[in-house]
Amino acid sequence: MRRDITLVVNGEEHRVTVADGETLLAVLRDRLNLTGTKRGCDQGDCGACTVLLDGRPVASCLVLAADAQGKTITTVEGLAAGGRLHPVQEAFVRHFATQCGFCTPGMVMAAVGLLGENPHPTEDEVREALAGNLCRCTGYGAIVRAVLDVAGRGDGDA
């Protein structure tokens, strides 16, 4: 079964015809060409596909595109404004929090989601909030430092 839906992604409206079983991740990547969101496992276990749905981090591989209609969808491509990186993205750059970078979009979205709800998290809260995002390169140290920096709780350690 296919249906026409309207998805509002990063403030822009997109009309697409999708199959009932198509996930938001597949539509973002394959139909809307927004390949910043990554497919890491397609089963909700790695966090690489994290986007914000009404400001909340979700695994887009487990969201049906049809269910995303009427919601505000934010992907990593929607963070930079006016050619400037979002503060979380800037902090990732500053702290060397990206190595291979594959986990980075999902990690950044999870961090933005956290800070939207809790602007000054403790380190434990940051680790809790990012525990659904796997990274094999960094050991998470620089990532946590980057988020704490944005949260105003960093120790200036860069």
Partner 1 sequence: MEMPEFQVIGRPTTKLDAADKAAGRAVYLDDLRRPGMLHARVLRSPHAHARIVAVDTARARALPGVKAVITARDLPGRNIGFGLDNPPLKGEKVCSVGDEVAAVAAVDEDTAAAACSLIEVVYEELPAVFGPEEAMRPGAPVVHPEKPDNVSLHYHFAAGEVERALETSHAVVEGRFQLPFVTPCCLETHGVIAEFDLQGNLTVWSTTQVPFLYQKELADALGLPGSRIRVVKATIGGGFGSKLELYPFEVAVAELARRTGRPVKMVHTREEEFAASRPRTPMVIDMRTGADREGRLTVRTATCYMDNGAYNSWGAINPLVGMQTVTSLYRVPCVRYDAFVVYTNNPYSGAMRGYGNPQATFAVESQMDMLAFELGLDPLRLRLLNANRPGEVTHQKMRITTCGLAGCLEKAAAAAELPAVREEGKLYGVGLAGYLHVGGGARVYRSDGCGAQVKIDDLGKVTLVTGATEIGQGSETVLAQIVAETLGVPLSMVRVVNTDTDLTPWDVGTHASRTTFIAGNAALAAARRAKGKLLALAAEQLAVSPEELEITGGRVRVRGREGPGVPYDRVVRAAHFRTGGAVIQAAAYYDPPTERQDENYAGNISAAYSFGAQAAVVAVDPATGRVEVLKVVSVHDAGRILNPLAARGQVEGGVSMGLGYALTERLVVEQGRVLNPGFLDYRLMTTADMPPVEAVFLEEADPQGPFGAKGLGEPPAVPTAAAVANAVYRACGVRVFELPVTPERLLAAIRARGTSGGLRQATTM
Partner 2 sequence: MDFTLYDPVSISEALDLLRRHGDGALPLAGGTDLLVRIKKGLVRPRVLVNLKGIAALDGMRMEGGRVSLGPLVTLAAVAKSPVLREHVPVLVETAGRMASVQIRNLATVGGNIGNASPAADLGPPLAALDAAVQVSGAGGVREAKVADFLTGPGVCARAPDELITGVSVPACGPGERAVYLKYSLRRAHDIALVGVAVWLRLADGIIEDCRIALGAVGPTVVRAREAENALRGASVAGVPLAEAGELAAAAARPIDDVRAKAAYRREITRVLVARALARALTGKGEAH
Identify what 113 binds: partner 1, partner 2, none; CB under 5 to 8 Å per kind: partner 2
Binding to partner 1, residues 50-69 (CB under 8 A): none
Q: At what angle do helices 104-117 and 123-130 cross, to 10 degrees?
A: 130
The number of beta carbons lying within 10 Å of the beta carbon of residue 118 is 13
Q: Which CA distances in Å does 53 have to 60, 97, 122?
A: 9, 24, 24
Residue type, 27: V
Q: Which is nearer to partner 1, 36 or 113 (CB)?
A: 36
x/- map, 20-39, partner 2, by CB under 8 A: xxxx----------------
Identify what 59 binds: partner 2, partner 1, none; CB under 5 to 8 Å per kind: partner 2
DSSP per residue, 30-43: IIS--TTS--S-SS
Determine the distance from the C-alpha atom of residue 128 to the mean position of all C-alpha atoms in its chain, rounded to a whole number.
16
What is the C-alpha radius of gyration for the chain, rounded to an integer number of angstroms? 16
| Interface residues toward partner 2, by CB under 8 A | 1, 19-23, 42-45, 47, 50, 53, 56-59, 62-64, 66-67, 110, 113-114, 128-129, 131-133
Q: Which residues bind partner 1 (CB under 8 A)?
A: 29, 35-43, 45-46, 48, 75-77, 79-80, 85, 89-90, 92-96, 98-105, 108, 126-128, 130-144, 158
